[in-house]
Amino acid sequence: MTSEAAADCLFCKIVAGQVPADVVASSDRVIAFRDISPKAPVHVLVVPKEHHGDVSVLAAADPSLLADLVALADEVATELSDGQYRLIFNSGPRAGQSVFHVHAHVISGAKLGWTPA
Ligand code: 5GP
Ligand code: ZN
């Protein structure tokens, strides 16, 4: 599924208001909410309101929506932190993806180390 809500998708349920979330920002087509298990002082997930499985699917299907997502991520990092941030898309289970509705992790608010594996 690409553009409608996917059955049993946690982030589609958050977008629909069926699962509560700490929403920090939104735009026409994108929503940002705090990660339930933060790994940094600012750890926000930025999610298109439409369902797309991962970043490569989104980039192919709707590049302007991916650009909107990055723009909202930047806004969040500027408003909640100092505008310096790491943007992470985990793509695929071996890369750490556990929710298969594309989301960018905005990680900010601390000097970040680099331990990807
Ligand atoms: P992934 O592992 O797919 O890159 O990231 C999924 C993220 O979703 C994880 O960082 C996890 O903590 C977060 N998460 C899982 N369930 C929930 C939830 O119910 N609410 C919120 N706000 N975040 C969640
Ligand atoms: Zn979804």
What digits encode the pLDDT tens for the residues 36-92?
999 999 999 999 999 999 999 999 999 999 999 999 999 999 999 999 999 999 999
What protein residues have CB closer than 5 angstroms to ion ligand 2? Answer: 6, 9, 11-12, 51, 101
101 is catalytic: no
Nearest CA to ligand 1 atom 12: 37
Mutate to test the pocket of ligand 1, among 23, 24, 46, 99 (most ligand atoms within 8 A of CB): 99
Contact (CB, 8 A) for 55 and 91 = yes
| pLDDT of 39 | 95
pTM of the prediction?
0.96
| pLDDT of 1 | 44
| pLDDT of 5 | 83
* Cβ neighbours, 10 Å, residue 29: 14
Residue 4 has pLDDT above 70, yes or no: no
